[in-house]
Amino acid sequence: MNYIWEHWIKSPEHAIKRKVLYVDEMWQFIDYEQTVNFLEKVARRSRKRNAGMCWASQDFVRILENVKARGILQSTFSYFFLEQNKIDKKKIQENFNLTAGELDIILNNPGKGEGIFRVGDSSVWIQTDPSDKEMMFIESNEAVLQELLNNMKKVQGYAG
């Protein structure tokens, strides 16, 4: 983690490059104090270094209830809420002041890629529809990714 901070984010040779640290399933890391301290430092200090952090988690409450990880939430300016667990409704409402309609969207089986994008105090409903090439970048399930690649090869074969 120190290497990422010192040689990539903080490095003068990378000062003009825009850098983004992606942290998927952040809830898995919050039980490790050193990791949470690092992520909080990145969330809080990276803007000064032309960098940012994009994180995703399926367990918002676990992050919220961790004192150290709360600093990460406080340093986050924009959120994209996909489907949330109904048992987290009260905590989400208390911390983000979403409207009843916004909560309805994210708690009641939203469509694939459908959610609420929140920046500051403003929210908007959006639905994403990534292209196959974008899916290659974001898909983490190796079997699904392989199927996607095979389908793309078939389509290219017919086109050519």
State pLDDT tens for residues 102-133.
999 999 999 888 999 999 989 999 999 988 88
pLDDT at res. 154: 85
Beta strand spans in the chain (E): 19-23, 51-55, 78-81, 114-119, 122-127
Residue 77 DSSP code: -
Contacts of 79 (CB under 8 A, 6+ apart): 96, 117, 118
Domain regions of the chain by residue span: 1-76
| Banded model confidence at residue 158, pLDDT cuts 50, 70, 90 | low
pTM for the structure as a whole: 0.75
The predicted-structure confidence for 4-60, as pLDDT tens digits, reads as follows 888 888 888 888 999 988 898 999 999 899 999 999 999 998 888 999 999 998 888
What type of residue sits at position 51?
A
What sign does the CA torsion over 140, 144, 148, 154 have? positive
- Residues written for the chain: 160
